[in-house]
Structures are given as structure tokens and as C-alpha cells.
Amino acid sequence: MGRIFGKNGMRGIAVTEITCELAMQIGRAAAKVLASHKEKSAKILIGKDMRSSSDTIEAALCAGICSMGADAELLGEIPVPALAWQIKQREACGGIMITASYVGAEFSGIKMFSSYGYRLGDDREEEMERLIIDDPDKLEPKQRKRYGRILQCETAADEYAEHLKEIAPADLSDIKIAVDCANGAASLTAEKLFTALGAEVVMMGNTPDGLNINSSGSTKIESLMTCVTENNCQCGIAFDGGGERCLAVDEEGSLVDGDVIMAVCAEHMKAQGTLRNNSILVTQANNLGLLRFARENGIGTASAPTGERGMMRRMLECGFSIGGDPSGSIIFPDDAPSADGQLTGIRLLEAMKASGRKMSELASVIEKSPQVMINVPIEKNFREVWKNDRAITSVIDEFESILGEEGRVIVRETGKEPVIRIRIEGRDFSAINKMALHIAETIKDRLEMRD
């Protein structure tokens, strides 16, 4: 067995790859790592998205947790950020979310959270992996007087919606919006939430059946584009299956991605005096257009690794109040311990209403740079080798010099099955496309010579 947790938890085909046996061992390891320091009985919260496989994996996690003497409190079907917030509220020693976020129903996944509601750190996930892979004997249940109990919470989703209204009490009256819940966890809360804030809401993607999760939503936003224009909405917002991401559609049916949402919200926060350090946090994935927007509007930028865990760590260290990526994973650390799609939607609509402008006008503040991305699969034994090949690095250096401040070249390895991802941005699509192809061919040629 290889590494279990990646930068964003674990994900695989439900039940066959993320097996009941593995889920039970994760439950045991979580209880040992998260709850072993508690003198009295500790509890771990478990939430799940709307997939038909979630009940099966939940049962296995409960068996593992309770067999180690810790309690498992089940929050039921709930958005990921709701679980993250509830951990501190319920004085739990951690949380486990069963979700594969934005992918199809055949997948499942597990995300681990600390007692503060933040994504669990690498060191503790690695400790869990070591127990599961290298020292499974230490996870063998012992005879004990008290085993853990399974506790039920029926009100977690409603409590979360009330919490969002308290921390983001926006007045959305006189705004007509379309909301696509991706047939996921936001289906439980979004309509009541946005209606309570005063918006006129046209709902879609809010009839989950366990199989249709992410059949629409932030990763398949075309149906929302149509819904917005057909219903004369001023804006549309779309979530992913776990309720973490938010993308939008303007009144003309055009996409408003995470870069634009970041710009609109940052501009509004600066005007309100809530943009701490007068800066935003970005990743390598953000478009150069967002960086230009920030520079032209006197807003600083800082970078962090992709993935929520790395972004949140940097934001807490440096005191930023907003960060995110183009996919719509936006973090407001003053308000939430994780990326929260519905909170992002509220903040965006609040900024639109305060501006008095149409969403299409707000979105025009960013001039996006063309991007080209090419993936080059490599053999595992060639991992990291290309970084020390002068023929490859000199080509990258040359193109970086040519582009200067008007573009950038990002070349990195990604994925369990090694792939070198080449991403280039610049003003001239034809030029950067040729550059990307040239780098890809150089990598292939140089690695073939090493066979």
C-alpha cells in the first residue's frame, strides 16, 4: 500500500478502492492519533455527502473509532465546511468528512480535520499512515470495559445555516439569483439560506438521489448558464458536491471563476476596511490577470502551495483575510476554518449589491491572460530527474526571460502517477502554445535518451 492521504485527503472508487477494511483502519488510527491524549472519553465527528456509498463507509469508520474506545458523533449529510465549523462547537477532538468533493458518484473520499476545524496537518496524517501501513498491530482492538458509542445529531445542517446568517448577515433583497447545488450537500441548506437573506431564488441541482451528485454544479456549469438567462437572473452561483467550491455566472450567462470572485470580494473588502494587510493570497494556479488587477488597485499578493491545507496555514501565519484559486475554493479565515462555497456566494452577492453594478461589469475588472497547459506522463524512476537536466532547465529559463513580467512558466510534477505539468501564461496565445510544446518535446526527448 502506498501513501494514503494526498494534499487534499484521499479519494478513490467507493468500497472497492476505499474499502470497508481500510475505512475501519482509518477510524482506528484517527481515534488513536486524535483521541489518545484525552483522559475521558473523546469523540470524533463524522459527516458525509450525498453519495449512495457514504453510509457504507460511515459504518466502517464508526466501527473503527468505537472499537478503540472513542465516540463517533454522526452529523449526517452535511456540507464539508459545516463539519469543520461544528468540531469546535461540539468540543470534538477531530472530524472526518466522507466526500469526493467535485467528482462523480462512483468515487468517495475521506478528509481529516483537527480539533480546531482545520485540515489535519501532514505530521498527524503521516502518523496515521504509519500505523495503518507499518504498525497495524498497534491498531488491534484491546479488551476494555468501555467501547465507544455512536451518537446522532439531527440538527447540524440547520445550525450551520443559522451560523452563516450570523457571520454574513447580508441584505440580498431585490436580487434574483439561480443556485445550482450539484445535487450535493448544499441542497440541504442553500435555498433556505439565500431566501432568508432576501434573495429571490431559482433552484436547480437540488434533488440528490445518491447517484447524481456533481451531474451539474461548479464542474458542469453550462446548465446554470442557461438557467440564469432563461429566468432573467442577475447572477447564478454553483457549488460542488461537498459545498466547498463556488463559481458564478453573470446575468449574460458568462462564467465568473475563482479569480474574478477573489478580485470582486477583495475590492469590496478593501473599501470596507476588512482586507487585512491589504493583501490577498494566491496560488500558482491563479491567472496573471488577478495579479495585475491587485497591482493596479494597490492590493498586495502573496503565494502559497495549491490545496486548502497549505493555503490556510499561510493565511494564518501572515494574517490574510481572503485567499483562493480559480476553481472557486475560496477561504475567509476570519469567518470559517475551511473553504466554504455558500459563504463565498454570500460575499460575492453582497459585493455586487453594494457596488450597484451588474455582475458582468464587476467581472470586467480582470483581463485574463491566455493559458496553455500540457501534461507529460513519465516513468516513476524519472521522478525529479528532469529538474537536474540542463537541456530542460535552460529552455524553461529562456522562455521565462522572454515572457518577463508579461507571463510565466510553471513546470512541476503532480499526481500519484507521475506527470510533468507544463503551464504557461502570456499575452500571445500562439507564442505560449509553441513554448509549451517545445518544453514538452524537450522533456520527452531527454528522458528517452536516459532509457
Asked whether the beta carbons of 54 and 77 are under 8 A apart, the reply is: yes
Closest residue by Cα to residue 84 from 350, 347, 280, 333: 333
Sheet order of strands, 371-377 included? 371-377, 419-425, 408-414
Q: Is 320 left (phi over 0), alpha (psi -120 to 50) or beta?
A: beta
101 is catalytic: yes
- Rounded-to-integer distance, Cα 223 and Cα 411, Å: 34
**Residue of 67, 101, 215, 329 marked catalytic:** 101
Task: Decide: residue 106, CB within 10 A, 0-12 exposed, 13-18 middle, 19+ buried.
Answer: middle
Closest residue by Cα to residue 15 from 119, 100, 102, 94: 100
Residue with cell 467528482: 103
Residue 217 backbone dihedrals phi, psi, to 5 degrees: 100, -160
Q: Which residues contact 60 (CB under 8 A, 6 or more apart)?
A: 20, 21, 23, 24, 27
- Rounded-to-integer distance, Cα 423 and Cα 412, Å: 9
Give the active site residues: 101
